[in-house]
Amino acid sequence: MDSVVIGVDSSTQSTKAAVVDAASGRLLAVGRAGHTVTGQGGARESDPEQWWAALAEAVGAGLKEAGTDPRAVAGVAVAGQQHGLVVLDAEGRPLRAALLWNDTRSAPQAAALTRGLGGPSAWLERTGSVPVASMTAAKWRWLCENEPRTAAAAAGVRLPHDFLTERLAGVAVTDPGDASGTCWYATATGAYDAELLGLLGLDAALLPEVAPTGGTRAGSLTSAAADALGLPAGVAVAAGTGDNMAAAVGLGLGAAGLLDHPVLSLGTSGTVFAATRSRPAAAALAGFAAADGPGTYLPLGCTLNCTLAVDKVAALLGLDREDAAPGGEAVLLPYLDGERTPDLPGASGLLTGLRHTTTPQQLLGAAYEGAVFTLLRALEQLPGAAADAGVPLRLIGGGARGRTWVETVRRLSGRAVVLPHSTELVALGAAALAAGAATGDDPVRIATAWGTGDGETLPPTEQDRAAAARIGAVFDAAADGAASALLTTTQGHR
């Protein structure tokens, strides 16, 4: 009986469970189940129990579609949405709905934490990241200040993937990659930072143990979890990681694979990242650790507004998402949910440069351009060779399957673009972590052998420098909060 592994992608909106042939990396099936996100204004929450139910449903559906004997499953790993705050009681049950990464209510707490340690440079030196509303540390402080009884009752504090891994294996464990997104784990030392925990008022005893890598075997599938998933008890369970780290593994990025090769992920949020051996320390980036072990990092810029924001603009205009044209003189920064990079949690969308001749298609094109330009600005901050125009960009996520997204990236960047053939890279990366837990092999090496990051290369096109300069002027004014500069910019483009 050929062995298979299961890689779980537990994202903001849904869970996907990839059933993968352990030897070849062939994707046999993907089971799916949805999530519900609630909240108005800046609030974004989900019930963690819903994630667990969705995981079981997705695994069952994947096994059924693949026609796989459950006894063939050798390993399971979870890649989860980053930064979410899950607080548990002594029985491991959630005390409240999880605060999600895109919950912006904790922006004041993030600013206070930055000041409390002495400013951005102090945070960069320790964690590689400056607190923003997305980070788990800011959410913990928000909980302490707004729901002190819940915070005081917490017997465990987990990230989303930690919560699911604990349900699978019965042990509280995380990995360096996802832990590095909390702002209480120091990439400088590879451990929780006692001074930061003190600043946060967070007891280290509430936190999971940090495994050496995401592919470390955290434990074995418990009898209760095995019953819920329809699998035999004893299956290897990996420590798992965050979704961005798993995507990097799926692409073969890391010490055993490609270094300094940048990735643009076009999803509900947009991200730009690369695996590097240089520990990042740029305020515009999250200085994450990678999932594949000490000494490898995953500097990442994240925007809150990407495909969902552009789809909203298309809906407002009554257009199909592909019915777009270059923006002409119009500039649209689609910051409909505030923004994380640049750090503008209270921002709204900004439109300027309208003319009588502006068409609806150009307005939609301007939304694409604003979203892509924001990501390309973050890309410029990546260390090493990642920002070198001669290095191709790897495009992943739902947007990478859209013609207008791809062509907008090519036009504004002027760089070659690689479109991986595999579309479920987070789940495939998690499957490689599961294979690593089952065999002891390096997950990045496993994924490279599988070829999950291979794809079509599109040659570079001439960069649209005029569009980049026009958008850049508005972007800089908005990021600086300089109304007078913005007025000058709009007048200058008449």
* Total length of the chain: 494
149: exposed, middle or buried (Cβ count in 10 Å: 0-12, 13-18, 19+) = exposed
Whether 180 and 196 have beta carbons less than 8 Å apart is answered as no
Distance CA 452, CA 450 (A): 6
Helix 160-169 / helix 48-66 crossing angle, nearest 10 deg: 60
DSSP annotation string for 48-105: HHHHHHHHHHHHHHHHHHHT--GGGEEEEEEEE-SS-BEEE-TTS-BSSPEEPTT--T
Q: Are strands 73-80 and 236-238 parallel, antiparallel or unpaired?
A: parallel
Token output for 279: 């520990």
Whether 340 and 303 have beta carbons less than 8 Å apart is answered as yes
Distance CA 169, CA 163 (A): 10
Whether 161 and 178 have beta carbons less than 8 Å apart is answered as yes
Beta bridge partners of 192: 185
- Which candidate in 103, 193, 243, 464 is catalytic? 243
Any residues with CB less than 8 A from the CB of 119 and at least 6 apart, and which? none
**21 is known as an active-site residue:** no
Neighbours of 65 (CB within 10 A): 15
Three-class SS state of 136: helix
Terminal Cα-to-Cα distance of the chain (whole angstroms): 70
Neighbours of 325 (CB within 10 A): 15
DSSP letter at 264 equals E
Active site residues: 243
